[in-house]
Structure 1
Amino acid sequence: MTDDDPSQEPQQLRKGGALDEATVTALRQHLPRVAKLVVAEIMREVPAYDVPFQGRMGRIIEKAVQVSLESFVSLASQSAPRSGTKVGVGVAAARDLGQAEARTGRPIEALLSAYRVGAGAAWRELSVEAVAAGVDAATLGRFAELVFSYIDELSAASVAGHHSQTTSAERARIVHLDRLTRTLLTGAGGAELDAAAAAAMWAPPRTLTAVLVPEGRLATTAAVLDPRTLTLSEDLPQREEYPVTGHAALLVPDAGGRARAHLNEVLDGRPAVIGPARPWQLAGQSYDRATRALPLAATGVPLDTDEVLPELVLHADPAALADLRETALAPFAEVAEGAADRLAETLRAWLLLQGRRELVAEALHVHPQTVRYRMNQVRDLYGERLADPDEVLAIILALGRSEDR
């Protein structure tokens, strides 16, 4: 579509309502003043254009307004305007203007307000001069219809242009944000991350914290987090030993330090695994930690990986942990299974509570004499190994998650 296409002009422009030559001449003398007044009123009434319309750009806009007004006046002087007569900047140009406004980030409401304010100011001045020139009410009414009908068409064209640009730009940005998130989760290098962030028009925060949620909970979880949060719901980077099938990932900006308590509070009551805060370029480390913690997560409640670090260390190498338990707890193999469990439980409490019998008894809900009896049995089984710090460390680690033995 081009400005020369007759279909671009409103049908009202090809109907009657002519101004006489004397009136047209009188109106033209006032057009430079009216154009200046229109621009000034837009700057005053529409704050979004106060700065953009200053200086050289203001003079360009003022000239465009004057050209539009001259074409309105010329058209109004024709009792039967020629088909395809161009008015003002044209509908195609208005569509382009809507797209340009979208690229600057200004909402379409600002441009529509400018049209409304500008048309009102222009008509107020021109109608006064037309009445002074003796234009009758019927002709003046048709002139008003021509002006405001065309403004309606310009507005509709600009809305269409703004929407098409916004929709296209948003689709492209979503693609770039997905690519950026995937790049972060896979632990790509600095140059690649910088390029991905620039393409997505995303301003990096100081830190990012990975949060894993069931895929169906992504939208509701993202809604309560920082609007800058990055999300990815499909084809998450997989870790062979810690699959994340059925989950979505979120990268929450600046949720470390004191802000972590707020993150935990916001996620309270939601199924989620929260990784550690890491510098934004190292977000992949937070994601890795969260994926490793998935087996420890309970249903329906959040798991803060900062609070289960010992368990994560113990499960870092399951095979090594199994070997450690077999070696460190071998003496209990000489005892019946039920008795072995009771002795192991007592030994764990004894080591963690530094041999304070009363506290051990309280923790196990038994009599202190029972603790003494059991520990005598344990000493018989372990002998001098309980005096060796390295052996004690191995036993504590082996008993670290007694419910997993």
Structure 2
Amino acid sequence: MSLPTPSPTQRVGGRLPQARAPRLTIAAPPPSITPEMVAIYRPRAVELTRRIAERISCDVVGFRDPRLRDLITEAIDSAVTLFVDALAGAPVRGASVAAAYRRLGSLEAEAGHDLDAMRAAHQIATQESWDDLRTLARELDLPLVAVDHLMHALFDYQRQLLEHALLGFGAPRRTPDARLRLLTALATGADDADVRALAQRVGWTIPDLVAVAVAGDPSPAAFTAPCGAVLVGTYDGALVLLGAPDDVEQQARVIATSHGPVAISWGVEPDASAHALRWGLQTLKLVADRIIDAPGDGVVWCEAHQAELCLHADPVLRRCADEQVLAPLLAETPKRRAALAETMLVWLQTGHTAPAVARLLKVHEQTVRSRLKHIKHLFGDRLDDPAETVGLLTALESMTPRWLREPDDGRRRTAVLVQSVRRR
């Protein structure tokens, strides 16, 4: 177990003592556990790591955050590898493993979780590891002394890992930057008095109008040209900039040149910052889904895409409504459905004849005629009703890009959707 770091006032022999690095100890194996036996087990350690990480990520609520998955897997993999190496007789150098578990503990504390999650994760890791080693002992017919060593070594090792996670959980944490707290307050719609108090504390003048820019790269390194007038931080997995519209645009363009698309809201009253952030995040998502095309300079203006933002404000509800309107197409194969929807969309948008639609789609005229004939068979009189065609056109504008991207969704989903629509 690690000793506490001495305070600067503690002196030994007139010199400040060195702070102890995090460490782990594992008892040396008895002669009955040979390196050859460990070599037999080593390939199974990969599967053990996967199984433990999956159970912890799925079964323990405090560790379900997908952003923790890689860190959990890496920590478990390094811990299992260190233990297996120790069984093979290698010297134990566990500073990086101990540090990884402290980091996990610190993240759990920062997320506001209690200790139950870490104890549950520890229990899962101990159980899975012991089940695996006990199976190995039976397969190799290990003597009782070897089994006893495995049990005590594993349980002591797991105890040390938990202790390091608890140390990380209880370690003092850096107070969040005041400007970041101000950004978070504006982004979450905090009370106006709290926002003004925070702004006064950091010396930030609240503009009459603010704009929010959102970039997909959450790394602060993406903010390459600092500007005191713009608040910068991460929120919901994205890099967020908030300030006066001109200042935000200037910094957003710097980021867009090297870090991909940046969505910028239109100017809003400061107390509507949370709405502007939501529009920016949704616009960036629509760019990722290829509903909205990012321009060459990478700057996407939310104001230019208000129709798409409204159309996809609730994606699940929107899709259900669109599938009801376009129910006849759901019985088609995914590839056929995408082709018919695209043809129907262009035809309704332009009102052109088959030859003109064929030129726009760059397909043979006879192909378009065949598709239009089938479309008229599927939708019948609805195509002659202006109110119906408006609804069809809106649904097609929403669904066609998705169907063109998902030509291989599979028949099973189509059948389920058709049955669901018919039940309605």
TM-score when normalising by structure 1: 0.47
